[in-house]
Structure 1
Amino acid sequence: MNQELFEKGLATRKKVLGNDYVEASLRSADDFSKSMQELVTQYCWGDVWNRPELTHKSRSMINLAMLTALNRTHELKVHGRGAINNGMSKDEIKEVLLQTAIYCGVPAALESFRVAREVFKELEV
């Protein structure tokens, strides 16, 4: 593991997803899942999320669309919070999800709207 990239990724991951969520994920990792947490933190958050060509807000938009397409509601909820943390407004999230209705299908978009409403309610947005 590249410790420097891991630390950089850990800082970004906490900034986007929130310290409590990330710390809970790392604490709950066991011998089986620890390697996956390290990979995600180093590679996804340390390397890709920190590339300068896209802002974190742009990356959040992309993630919301992809997670809708893949019907990954748990991750959509996590990245919905991250999108708010990265400066996306409710209206911007709505527009991303409306766009997914066209390209991913209405059922997928409806589920994503449901998840987004849960996030807004939890965050009081």
Structure 2
Amino acid sequence: MAPHQQTPKTETRLERGRRALEAIDGQAGQKVIDALADISPDFADYLFEFPFGDIYTRPGLSLRDREIATIAALAALGTAQPQLKVHIEAGLNVGLSRDEITEILIQMAVYAGFPAALNGLFAAKEVFASHDDQNPQEKIA
């Protein structure tokens, strides 16, 4: 490359992660980042860079497929209700229907047990109600 030519600027992991988080989680993801500002802004950057900048932007699975896997994993953990709610909202953002999310959570009863499935369903119920309150024109029976 000749000295007068500039290398095209490439998107950094942080920039790619910020873009992905906004597309996937919208406001819910930004609330998590904002909540970290006073305790660990570096951790917020790690969230942008690794899960969203490196993993979510990989080829091979759609964002919709990635959210199916994430909702199932978080529900199966049974200890990640706040994160599960964020990803249920993300699932809605990337095209999952309420029925699909409900079925994902019911499926977890087989592999993670009824308590995990119940907790997941109650988390979904809260997210759906909040979504209806924020978007009354989109309310689904």
TM-score calculated relative to the size of structure 1? 0.89
Equivalent of 1:16 in 18, 24, 28: 24
2:110 corresponding residue in structure 1: 102
Q: CA deviation at 1:35?
A: 1.6
Gaps of 5+ in 1: none
1:48 corresponding residue in structure 2: 55
Task: Write the letter of the residue equivalent to 1:123.
Answer: H
2:4 corresponding residue in structure 1: none
1:97–1:12 distance in 2 versus 1, CA, 3 Å: same
Q: Is the 8 A contact 2:28 2:89 kept in 1?
A: no
Q: CA deviation at 1:103?
A: 0.2
Task: Write the letter of the residue equivalent to 1:110.
Answer: L
2:129 corresponding residue in structure 1: 121
Secondary structure (helix, strand or coil) at the match of 1:98 reads helix
Task: Give the helix-richer structure, 1 or 2.
Answer: 1
1:112–1:31 distance in 2 versus 1, CA, 3 Å: closer
Q: CA deviation at 1:64?
A: 0.7
- Is 1:88 the counterpart of 2:88 in the alignment? no
| Structure 1 runs, 4 residues or longer, greater than 6 Å off | none
Q: Distance in 2 between matches of 1:88 and 1:49?
A: 16
Q: CA deviation at 1:30?
A: 4.1
1:26–1:96 distance in 2 versus 1, CA, 3 Å: closer
Equivalent of 1:78 in 73, 86, 90: 86
2:32 corresponding residue in structure 1: 25
**Larger mean Cα displacement after TM superposition, 72-81 or 24-33:** 24-33
Q: CA deviation at 1:28?
A: 3.5
Per-residue CA distance 1:15-68 (angstroms, 9 max, x = gap)? 1111x3344433443475112111110011011000110000001000111101
Larger radius of gyration: 2
Alignment length (residue pairs): 122
1:23–1:68 distance in 2 versus 1, CA, 3 Å: closer
Q: Percent identity?
A: 32
What CA RMSD, in Å, does the superposition of the two structures yield over aligned residues? 1.6
Task: Write the letter of the residue equivalent to 1:117.
Answer: K
Which protein, 1 or 2, shows the higher relative CO under an 8 Å CA cutoff with sep ≥ 6? 1
